Amino acid sequence: DAGVHSKAWYAATCDRKTAEDALYRSNKDGSFLIRKSSGQDSRQPYTLVVFYNRRVYNIPIRFIESTRQYALGREKSGEERFDSVAEIVDNHQHTSLVLIDSQNNTKDCTKLKHIVRVS
């Protein structure tokens, strides 16, 4: 279990558009939620959705079968791995998360600060 089901930041059945709309409405840097990923892929079960600088970032959360751990974004050497999705959230409430804009190839950083609930 990824440790998501009882969490305030987990929007289980929320789709991408609903999540993005909720974050735009919050309009606060560091607003976030976690939703189930659109594709039914066991290797990428969740998506971390973060609002920063008037933009919404959808960051895939990967499940690593061999170690039964979770990691953010595309696989990279030396990446941080976590035992649960809840650990990822806890970690990035204290440690900055790097946001990569693939269209403009720019990087920003923010912490996960404001839980957004999807109504």
In tens, the pLDDT along 41-95 reads: 789 999 999 999 999 999 999 999 999 999 999 898 889 999 999 999 999 999 9
What is the predicted pLDDT for the residue at 104?
84
CATH of 16-115, one of 3.40.50.1980, 3.10.20.740, 3.30.505.10, 3.40.50.1220: 3.30.505.10
Compare 41 and 27 and report the one with higher pLDDT: 27
Reply yes or no on whether the pLDDT at 39 is more than 80.
no
DSSP code per residue over the chain: --S-TT-TTEETT--HHHHHHHHHHH--TTEEEEEE-SS--TTS-EEEEEEETTEEEEEEEEEETTTTEEEESS--TT---BSSHHHHHHHHTTSPEEEEETTTTEEEEE---EE----
pLDDT at 1 over 80: no
Overall average pLDDT of the 21-45 stretch: 92
Query: Domain spans of the chain?
Result: 16-115
How high is the mean pLDDT of the chain?
93
pTM of the model: 0.93
